[in-house]
Amino acid sequence: MPPAPRTAAHVANVVLGVSGGIAAYKAADLLRRFTENGYDVRVVPTASALQFVGAPTWAALSGKPVHTGVWDDVHEVPHVRIGQEADLVVVAPATADLLAKAATGLADDLLTNTLLTARCPVVFAPAMHTEMWQHPATQDNVATLRRRGAVVLDPAVGRLTGADSGPGRLPEPEQIFQACVRVLSRGADGTAPDLAGRHVVVSAGGTREPLDPVRFLGNRSSGRQGYALATTALARGAEVTLVAANVALPDPAGAKVVRVVTAADLRTAVLEAAAGADAVVMAAAVADFRPATTVPTKIKKRGTDPEPLALVRNPDILAELAANRTSRTQVVVGFAAETGDDDGDALVHGRAKLAAKGADLLVVNEVGADRGFERPDNAAVILGSDGTEVEVPQGPKEALADAVWDHVARRWDAATG
């Protein structure tokens, strides 16, 4: 993870707001991740948050005094100054009460005053019981905050307080931290995230086609590029559905993750999620073929050579998406992991694939033993159905992801302009 962005005169200032939920203890881990990566962090808890984690803990971990009210250090005008000087405000956990106050502009303590004066990006990481998260009042408040430009991460699904389980769990601190780093990387000018109000679907990973109970046909895709697309979209304000095929990476904070195994599973999940989505990005490495039959027991090694493996073609999901768009403005993006051969280089094959699939954009990256798969960086050429070709140089997969979303956003603008 990159350290805090800094110049000769500036280290990124982060305000960590903590509201009064049982998940407040996890914010200590989030604070540690910020400080260890060089960020200057000021913790602003609510009075109820201090019932869960005391002020000495926050002061010790941040190296700064901790206050909750507007009457502390009044000569420094903290209720205005803290928000004005911040490069990022993140509230984790954000309770239903805190979201309601932020949405309606109430300012009855230092944290809510800070939210009103902040002119930088603001990230909320909600945590509450399922019924509270799903209540229409909370959903309206979340919609209001997102419309104003805040990034509100969807909570994770899992064990809550007591025996309850469901959506409402605070995402893991590492994933919240990564989301915040991506938000900061977009700049601290306070402008609304450009994907706010959009629902995007991203596929990631590699499908597995079973031969028998223990063997499968697969590929080397780790899912890193698809996950980078999901995290960057979240940082830019989008609602993200991530269809993950056999990926061992942590879920991006705020994404709805649907796990699949085979190409058929992925097709079902993507087509369902694509209904009403503004964009679908097929970054998963989908098997072109599958075994004609799957043996119910493990194939044994015999004295003779095995029978030849018969394969059948899998459905072409990208072509199906392009041919059956759910709206006039839906953007369909494909990925093509290519190698050159006697018929042409990777770009030649990519141009042919773009024409055959009918997608709006095709991201062509040349793969091999030391590039593309299972690496944190990537290089590609983004081909457009309008004949455009844009090269994205070798760099972090998040940089390629941002370039893809830039092209998608321009397609939306052209369709509605």
Q: Are 42 and 76 in contact (CB under 8 A)?
A: no
Distance CA 278, CA 38 (A): 37
Paired tokens of 298: 């493990």
Q: Are 333 and 282 in contact (CB under 8 A)?
A: yes
Instruction: List b or e across 254-288, with b for residues whose CB sees 16 or more CB atoms inside 10 angstroms.
Output: bbbbbebbbbbbbbebbbebbeebbbbbbbbbbbe
Q: Are 205 and 246 in contact (CB under 8 A)?
A: yes
Report how many helices (DSSP H) and strands (DSSP E) the chain contains, helices first: 13, 19
Distance CA 273, CA 240 (A): 10
Q: Are 13 and 42 in contact (CB under 8 A)?
A: yes
Query: 10 Å Cβ neighbour count for 298?
Result: 11
Active-site annotation, residues:
219
Using CB atoms within 10 Å of the CB of residue 149, give its burial: 0 to 12 exposed, 13 to 18 middle, 19+ buried. Answer: middle
SS3 176: helix
